[in-house]
Structure 1
Amino acid sequence: MMGKKAVHAPLVEALIRYSSQGNASFHVPGHKNGQVYRHEEMASLLQEVMSIDATEITGLDDLHHPEDVIREGQELAAKCFGAEESFWLIGGSTVGNLAMILTVCTKPGDVLLVQRNVHKSVLNGLMLSGAKAVFLDPEIDTLSGLAVAPSTDTIKAALKDYPSAKGVLLTLPNYYGMGHDLTATAKACHAADVPLMVDEAHGAHNGLHPRLPVSALSCGADVVVQSTHKMLPAMTMGAMLHVQGRRIHRELLRQRLAMVQSSSPSYPLMASLDLARWYIDAYGTDAFTEGLAAADAFRKGLAQLPRFRLVEPTQQASEECDAQKGISEALERAEERTNGYSTQDPFKMVLYDTWGVLDGFGLKRELETYGCIPEMSDEKHVVLLFTLGSIARDVSHLLQALVHINNDIRFKGTAEEPELAGKEQQRLELDFSTWNNDGMKAYSSPVQFGLQPIDPDQMESVPVEESAGRTAAEMIIPYPPGIPLLYAGEMITEAIALRMVRLRELGAKWQGVADESMLTIRVFRLQ
């Protein structure tokens, strides 16, 4: 790799010094720098990690009152990612979403405009704050049927109807790497003097290479949460929260972060955040060269297997035309675009069988039998996640697996006319969504959230097939991606009831449900 710079990783360097000194530990944690396992072969993999699993002792700073190496590490992160201030998160984007909601919604009944297809942590944040959510319908990619984010026009209309709203919370990019430029949305929020809050969990790498989508911060977002462990090389649960501008109460944000994070944060996880930022600073855009080459090689190889295709932006061709007409004109048109799906993360491969023989869950299972483990699947698609750590060997392995699946007689089906089958597949994809959308308006009335449990006497269980028209009394979460299909208090439509049956039959995994078989669902009793 070319272009490595000499840069500083303050916490990592402090932990290396700590580990090398061989001091006797008379402090937590109980494994004493891993030495409790010194005779255990099974723990050898963990011993090196445990040697830097420290606590808030002299020289290692304190995440909740940083003054030294952690403070410096967070300042370097802010500079790297384009924020005024950055906070390390130990607990994933989940704690970042909770903290930013609790920062802007300070009184029960505060109104927050929220994209409906959000992660469950956002709904949990609404519950903790006692806020009222005005749910915004996302735009739909017409070819895949997948939900992206609300249009700027929808947000403007909702802000006009709810001028007391405390902010607008969006998720972009979505789990599939689909998104758009948020500049116009940020301008609309700021014209109403409310903050734009973005769950950018899947976009920590955005803006760090010319081929990657622009970051939410660069578009003007006020507070952004990123899962540094998803698309950048931090350890699982490592995330960051970035803030800029005057619309976020920084002191209150720090207090909220201290509420939702452990008072004994993991030093290895914090070190991995420091190291992930160091890697980007050290190598710059070169950090992504090998990973992008692997992604490009996969696309090229996939062209030899016409049965399998990738979801791509419908506006891609027009954008390429814009580029030919001139950069300034292209930028002007991009700023005018207020909705839809115009950018696709080149590292996210959303694959599907155009013949419709293999659904997304089936294709995922077959890939796993060949040692290729996808990120997730839905009824139609498999999401394959490349990163800056992907290499050519991974691509060869994946393409060989797809060749075997393509040639497997079990999956030839009856698709004698693949082109016709592909068109049918496209139509079917429009029949499902990732949220409960009645199609009548672009945003909901305010929905009150809180922590009051539902009285068991108010609930009953009914077969999922008979649930349409009833009101859900539990949260129904296909996982991944962790987007609630229903929340308690939401009306179950016929389309959602059918989708629950379809997902159950395909073998989807669930969170939040009382009946893990998903044969029944808890609903409110009829009055």
Structure 2
Amino acid sequence: MPTDPRGLRGEAPLLDAWLRFHEERPTPFTIPGHKQRHDLVGDVVAGDVPLYAGLDTMKLGAGVLADAEARAARLWGADHCRFSVGGATHANQAVALALGTDGDEVVVSRTLHRSMLVGLVLAGLTPVWVRPDLDAATGLPLGVPPAAVTRALGEHPAARAVLVGDPSYVGTVGDVAGLAAAAHAHDVPLVVDAAWAAHFGFHPDLPPHPLQLGADAMVVSAHKALPAWSQAALVLAGSTRIDRARLDAAVDAGATTSPAGAILASTDAARALLERDGAELLGEAIAAVSAARNRLADVDGLVVLDGAGVDPLKLTLLLPGTGADGIAVEDDLLAAGLPLEAAERDTLVAQVSLADTDGTLRRLTDVLTSSVETHRGPPRAVVTGAAYAVEPVTAMSPRAAFFAAAERVPLDRAVGRVSAELVAPYPPGIPVLAPGEEVTRDVLAALAEARAAGVRIAYAADPRLDTLRVIRTDAPRRG
């Protein structure tokens, strides 16, 4: 169902301001330096309009951003909303800064994105780790069980908050209502990194979004399931357990003072589209994914993640039963112009949004089916993702480790030392090793397994991972 974006402008103040800027074509004596000329570096700067002296006056006299954020808060049923042009990464780190003080403990899901782990470093928070259950049949993570949060809060009664990621990167959905109840029983907020769930709550076949299930705050990406620019995200808070002034200060602390107006306008436009046409567009996309799942279910040995605990817009496939190598399948898809969100030996993840149609899904499934048959081999056992199962051994706080004196040692000599850096397979960016944790043989085995499966190991200072930065043995242990 194509829509005319100009038809949204009456309901999207930032979009209206972006369109008006192009209609009026001012001659700016402000940044950005391209001054709207496309003859210098080309159309790569097309659409780049600043917020200050662009979408609004330099003094923000029109209040278009505040208006757009208030509309988003109303749509998601929140008390407060802030837009981010730094993606869910900036939003997660802002939430971390809003929760406690240096040295405070927070209960944290080990499957959270590395951005929140860096947020703990910035805020000086100490994690109390909880892990998700793993599905025995697929090896994929399910939600964090509420009982694990209850147990962690009982053992750490001074903890200031509970932070989880839901849905997971592969689309599994946990018991957010149960997690909220567990957190609130100890009078602490539940914060959900729902980066992949901006569409939740806007169609009857979708799960409710975290605020509807009792969460106190959530982060959503507008550029994943919704049609916004890359880096578009929102922070939404809905309870008095989150200090609004502190959250505002935290968002501002990490935000650029030159926000890209196109990202902000696209966030506002995506919100207006979701409000006006979301149910219809999402219904079409959900039906297309359902049909794609049915077609792929006919491929012998291919496991298609499905059911009540799975995001209806996420298409996650497990290949071990086919014997095909996911990297070879990915190569075929790339050659056909069909890049995936994630691909490794055993798992493929296709991200679907409300921009997709039955036609795009049919093309994907046709090439996928053909490729799997081309690369079919003897079935192999499902390997439980070691990255999800590693038990972290905390030796010092992430912040203390991040700033401690460090040295680089060969990987095989790092066992027993304390890591100074964060190391994660990417995607999905879930850490196997965080600053302040002991390097164990299980950690090294998980990293080796990920590399063997064709996953890129990210964030380490040595991209080949021949060496690792560890805390010097003469460094003082603080925290």
Answer whether TM exceeds 0.5 for this pair: yes
Residue aligning to 1:368: 334
Judge conservation of contact 1:134–1:446 (CA < 8 Å) in 2: no
Is the contact between residue 467 and residue 497 of structure 1 (CA under 8 Å) also seen in structure 2? no
Q: Deviations over 1:20-69 (max 9, x none)?
A: 1232212221111x22x2x36x723643x13xx13423871679x78622
- C-alpha distance in 2 between matches for 1:437 and 1:10: 48
Residue 434 of structure 1: how far off its partner (Å): 2.7
Match of 2:370 among 398, 401, 404: 404
- Does 1:454 pair with 2:404? yes
Q: Post-superposition shift, 1:395?
A: 2.0
Number of the residue aligned with 1:212: 206
TM-score w.r.t. length of structure 2 = 0.91
Residue 477 of structure 1, aligned match among 424, 438, 451: 424
2:464 maps to what in 1?
Answer: 517
Match of 2:439 in 1: 492
Q: Within the alignment, does 1:189 sit opposite 2:183 as a pair?
A: yes
Q: Which has the larger radius of gyration?
A: 1
Counterparts in 2 of 1:376 and 1:222: CA distance versus 1, 3 Å = same
Amino acid at match of 2:42: A
Q: CA deviation at 1:347?
A: 1.1
Structure 1 spans left out of the alignment, 5+ residues: 317-342, 416-420, 439-443
- Counterpart amino acid of 2:363? H
Distance 2:106 2:56 in 1: 38
Q: What letter is aligned with 1:306?
A: D
SS of equivalent residue, structure 2 residue 419: coil
2:381 is matched with: 425
Instruction: Determine whether 1:137 maps to 2:120.
Output: no
The residue number in structure 2 matching 1:85 is 80
Identity across matched positions, percent: 29
Structure-1 residue corresponding to 2:63: 68
Give the Cα separation in 1 of the matches to 2:320 and 2:466. 30
Q: CA 1:369–1:388 in structure 2 vs 1: closer, same or farther (change >3 Å)?
A: same
| Cα displacement (A) at 1:177 | 0.9
Distance 1:261 1:399, change over 3 A: same
* Structure 1 residue aligned with 2:50: 54
Kept in 1, the 8 Å contact 2:320–2:346? The answer is no
**Which residue number corresponds to residue 477 of structure 2?**
none
2: CA distance, partners of 1:244 / 1:61: 30
Change (3 A) 1:356 1:14: same
Q: Quote how far apart the aligned CAs of 1:470 are.
A: 4.2
Amino acid at match of 1:454: A
Determine if contact 1:173/1:203 at 8 Å carries over to the other structure.
yes
CA offset digits 1:473-525 (Å, max 9, x no partner)? 32212111111110123223333322222322343222222322223334456
Deviation at 1:8, TM superposition (A): 0.8
Whichever residue aligns with residue 304 of structure 2, its letter is: L
SS of the aligned residue for 1:126 comes to helix
SS of residue matched to 2:295: helix
Alpha-carbon distance between aligned partners in 1 of 2:226 and 2:330, rounded to the nearest angstrom: 24
The two structures, once aligned, show a CA RMSD in angstroms of 2.6
Letter in 2 for 1:72: D
Q: 1:499 to 1:226 in 2, by over 3 A?
A: same
Q: TM-score, normalization: structure 1?
A: 0.83
Instruction: Indicate which of 296, 300, 311 corresponds to 1:345.
Output: 311
**SS class of match (1:433):** helix
- How many Å separate the matches in 2 of 1:450 and 1:57? 38
Asked if 1 retains the 8 angstrom alpha-carbon contact of 2:302 and 2:318, the reply is yes
Q: 1:15 & 1:460 partners in 2: Cα distance?
A: 49
SS in 2 for 1:507: coil
CA contact (8 A) 1:62 1:70 kept: no
Partner of residue 252, structure 2? 258
Range with greater deviation from structure 2 (470-479 or 261-270): 470-479
Structure 2 residue ranges without an equivalent (≥5): 475-479
Deviation of residue 138 (structure 1)?
1.7
What does residue 274 of structure 1 align with?
Answer: 268
The equivalent of 1:95 in structure 2 is 90
2:212 is paired with a residue whose SS is: coil
Q: Which amino acid aligns with 2:93?
A: L
For these two proteins, the number of residue pairs brought into alignment is 470
CA contact (8 A) 1:307 1:406 kept: no
Letter in 1 for 2:63: D
Tell me which amino acid in the other structure corresponds to 2:149.
Answer: I
Q: Is the 1:148–1:172 contact (alpha carbons within 8 Å) kept by the matching residues of 2?
A: no
Conservation of the 8 A alpha-carbon contact between 1:133 and 1:446: no
Q: Single out whichever of 203-212 and 303-312 deviates more from structure 2.
A: 303-312
Partner of 1:283: 277
Equivalent-residue separation in structure 1 for 2:349 and 2:169 (angstroms): 8
Q: 1:300 Cα shift?
A: 2.3
Name which of 284, 299, 310 aligns with 1:305. 299
